[in-house]
Structure 1
Amino acid sequence: MSRRFLTKILTNKETTELDYIQEIDEDKYISIKKSIGIVDEVHNSMDLFLILQNNYNEIANFQETHIEKFIKNINEPLNIHKDDYTRLKIEINRVLQNYLSSVRMFVDHCDANLNRRFGKESAEYLNFKQTLSKFYDNNFEYRFIYKLRNFCQHCGLPVSDFSIDNYQDFITLELNFNSEYLLSEYDSWKADLKKDLIKINGMFSATKVISNHFKIMFLISQKIHSLYEKIFLGALTTLNFHTKEHRDEFELIIVTENNSTTESKNITITKFPFEIIDKFIKGIC
C-alpha cells in the first residue's frame, strides 16, 4: 500500500535528505494531482505556441539571414545563377514546413486537450471550434495555411517563385506562392480555396500570407488561454493553499512510498509548479 508525504528536500554540500512534514491522505493527493495536471496542460499549450512562434520568427528573419545575403551577390538581376536560387528556395520551404507542422501540432493538441478536459459538448470546446470556424470562413490566410500542409505532404514545395524589383540604389526580392502552380499540382483544394486561388491568378507574397496567418494564431492562443483561465487559476489557488504554510528556502515535494519495507524504500516524487504558482498567484490569494 502506498503512503504519501509532503516533504522538504534538505541539501548541503555533501548530502541530500528528505524531511517528511506530514502524511497526505488520498482525497488531498487527488486534488493536488488534478491541479498539477491542469497547470501542466496549460503550460504545455504555451510551450507548443512558443515552438510555433519560434518557427514563425525564423521565417520573419529570413529577409536578413538569407535574402539580403543573396541580393548582395546579385550583379545582374536578370542573370541569377540557378544553383543560388535553388538553395534559397529550398531553405524558405524548409522553414515553412517547420511552421506548418508546428501550426498543426498546436491546433490538434489544444483540440484534444480541450475535448478531454471539458467534454465535446461543453461551452468551452464549442467556443474553441467556433473560433477556428470563424477564422477559416473570414480569412484567406487561415484557410490557405490550413490546407497547405496537405499540399506539401502530397505534392511538393509550395514556395515556387520569386519577384525582383531593381531600383536605382537597391534591389528587393520577394518569395512567392503561385496560384496556377498550386492549382495544377493539387486537386484536393476545398471549393472555397479553389475560388480564392483562381481569383488571385498568379504570384502572391509568401511573407505577407504567413505574417497575417501568425497574427491569427496569436489570437487563437489568447482564446485558448481565456477558456482555461478559470480552472487554471483555481488549480493554482488549490496548490498554493496546500503548500504555502510549509514553503521556505527548501524545495517542497510529495514523496510516495510504494510497497516499502523496513529494509528498502521504493519512492516516486511529485514536484509542484512553484515558478508558475508564484508568477500568477500574486494578488489573487
Structure 2
Amino acid sequence: MQYGFGYSHIAEDGKKEVIVLKHISEAEYEKHLKNLEFCRHYNHLKNIYSLVINNGKSFLKFSEVLSDNPKADEFDDDVGLEGNRLLINYLTSIGMFIDYGEKEMSKALGKDARNEFRKKTNELYDRHLSYRFLVLMRDYVVHYSFPLHTHVKSLIEPSGLFAQKSNLLRYKKWKHAKADIEKMPSKINLYPHVIEMQKYISELFNFCLLKLSSKLVDVIQYANDLIQAADRKNPIFISFENEEKYRAGQFSLHPVELESVYDAYQDLKNHPNIIFNDKNQKEELETILEFYYNDELIMNGPTSFFKEVISNPTNPNDTDITLSLGDRFTMDDFPNQGDSTRVRVIRMVTQNNFSKVKPTIIKYFLESYDNY
C-alpha cells in the first residue's frame, strides 16, 4: 500500500476536489495515526462524561417539573417509572464513567496514571456523602431494586419522587453509606445529591484532562502543522495500491479528524487549573464570511467588508452582521451594481479554527432572491 498527503476543498464549480501535495512513506502514515491516537483516549472519556452530565440534567429537569406542578394529573400514570428510568440511566452512566476513566487513563499514560485515577475516586468517596451514596446506589439498582419508591403531591410539603429509607436499608451491601442513610429522613430527596454529584463528576473529568494536557497540546500542535502544510485547508491522507490505480483515481480518502482536536483545545482553555499560552499566538484574525447561492460561492470577505454592503432593513443603525437561520437582510450592489436585494439565510456552517493562524469561516446559504 502507498500513501499521500494533501487537502480537500470545494472547487469553483461547486464540486469537492482532492489535491494531493506529496506522496509519503508507510512509516510517515503510521506516525500520523499514532499522533492522533492519543486524542481518541480524550474523546472516549469526553463522550462518556457528556453522557453522565446530560443524564443528570434530564433527571434534574424532570424532578423540577414535578416539584413545580404538585397537582398535575398528567404525571400520575407513568411518573414513577419515568423518574426511575432517568435516575437509573444517570447512576449506570456514573459507573461507566469511572470504569472508562480508569481504562482510558491506563491506555493513555500507563499504570501510574491509572493508580492516580483510583486514588482520586477514593478521595471523592471518602470525603463526600453524595458521591459514595450514588456510587453505591448504582449497585443497588443493578442488583436489588428501583431507587425511587414514593410520589408525593402536596401544596404544603416538598413534592416529587422520593426514595424510602426503609426500602433502601433492606439492601445489605451499602458499605460505608449505610451509616449515612440511617441519618437521612424517612423520605429521601435525590435531587440535591445529583446536584452535588454533577460537581464531583466534573472535578474527576478535569482531573483526567489535567493529566492528559501535556500530550494533548502536542496533538493540537501536530494538527495545526497539518493545516499549515495543507495550505490552511482541510488536511487529508490517501492510500492506494499502486501508481497506475492512483492516476486512475482509485484511492481511499482518510480525512484528518479535527473536531475532537478542537474540542480538546477548548476544554484545555476552559480548564480551571490550566493557563493555555499559544507561543505562536497572533492578534485574532477577523472572521471570514462566505455567501452561497445554489451551493455556489457568490461573495466572500472579512466581516469589516460586509458591514459596508449589508444593512438591516428593520434597524439601519445595527452594525452587528452576525446572522442566524431565517434572518432576512439586504445586500447592496448585489447581484449587480446598483441593485439592492433582500435575501434569507436557509442554512449556515461554521468552520472554527483552534489556532490563531487561520480565521473562523462562517458560510451562509441564501434563499432564492425572487422569493421576496
Q: For the superposition of Structure 1 and Structure 2, which TM-score range results when normalised by the shorter chain?
A: 0.7 to 0.9
Tell me if 1:180 matches 2:166. Answer: yes
Contact 1:41–1:113 (8 Å) recurs in 2: yes
Residue 189 of structure 1 aligns with an amino acid whose one-letter code is W
Q: Which residue of 2 aligns with 1:247?
A: 231
Query: Runs of 4+ in structure 1 displaced over 6 angstroms?
Result: none
- Paired residues, what number? 266
Separation in structure 1 between the aligned mates of residue 5 and residue 58 of structure 2, nearest angstrom: 44
How many Å separate the matches in 2 of 1:29 and 1:237? 17
**Which has the greater radius of gyration?**
2
Report the Cα offset of residue 183 of structure 1.
1.6
Deviations 1:224-259 (A, max 9, x none): 1111101111111123234413233x43201122x3
Match of 1:233 among 189, 194, 217: 217
Name the Cα RMSD after superposition.
2.7
1:132 aligns with: 121
| Equivalent in 181, 186, 192 of residue 208 of structure 1 | 192
User: CA contact under 8 A between 1:180 and 1:201: conserved in structure 2?
Assistant: no
The equivalent of 2:3 in structure 1 is 4
The answer on whether the counterparts of 2:148 and 2:164 sit within 8 Å (CA) in structure 1 is: yes
Q: CA deviation at 1:210?
A: 1.2
TM-score, normalised by the number of residues in structure 1: 0.82
**1:109 lines up with 2:100 in the alignment:** yes
CA distance in structure 2 between the partners assigned to 1:85 and 1:278 by the alignment: 45
Query: Could you say which structure has the higher strand fraction?
Result: 2
Residue in structure 2 matched with residue 219 of structure 1 by the alignment = 203
In 2, Cα distance between the equivalents of 1:45 and 1:284? 28
Structure 1 residues without counterparts, runs of 5 or longer: 75-82
CA drift of 1:134 comes to 0.3
**How far apart in 2 are the matches of 1:201 and 1:65?**
22
Who is 1:256 aligned against? Answer: 239
Alpha-carbon separation, structure 1, partners of 2:23 and 2:230? 13
Give yes or no for contact 2:3–2:25 (8 Å, CA) kept in 1: yes
Helix, strand or coil: the match of 1:262? Answer: helix
Quote how far apart the aligned CAs of 1:32 are.
1.8
Q: Distance in 1 between matches of 2:126 and 2:216?
A: 30
Give the number of the structure with larger relative contact order, counting CA–CA contacts within 8 Å between residues 6 or more apart: 1
Given candidates 263, 271, 283, the residue that maps to 2:278 is 283
The structural deviation recorded for 1:7 is 1.9
In the superposition, the TM-score normalised over structure 2's length comes to: 0.64
What is the percent sequence identity of the aligned residues? 17
Cα pair distance change 1:277/1:188, threshold 3 Å:
closer
1:86 CA drift (Å): 5.4
Q: Which has the higher helix share?
A: 1
3-state SS of 2:145 partner = coil
SS at match of 1:145: helix
Q: Is the 8 A contact 1:35 1:235 kept in 2?
A: yes
Take 1:201 and 1:134, find their aligned partners in 2: how far apart are those partners?
Answer: 26
For 2:174, which of 182, 189, 202 is the aligned residue?
189
Moved more, 215-224 or 194-203: 194-203
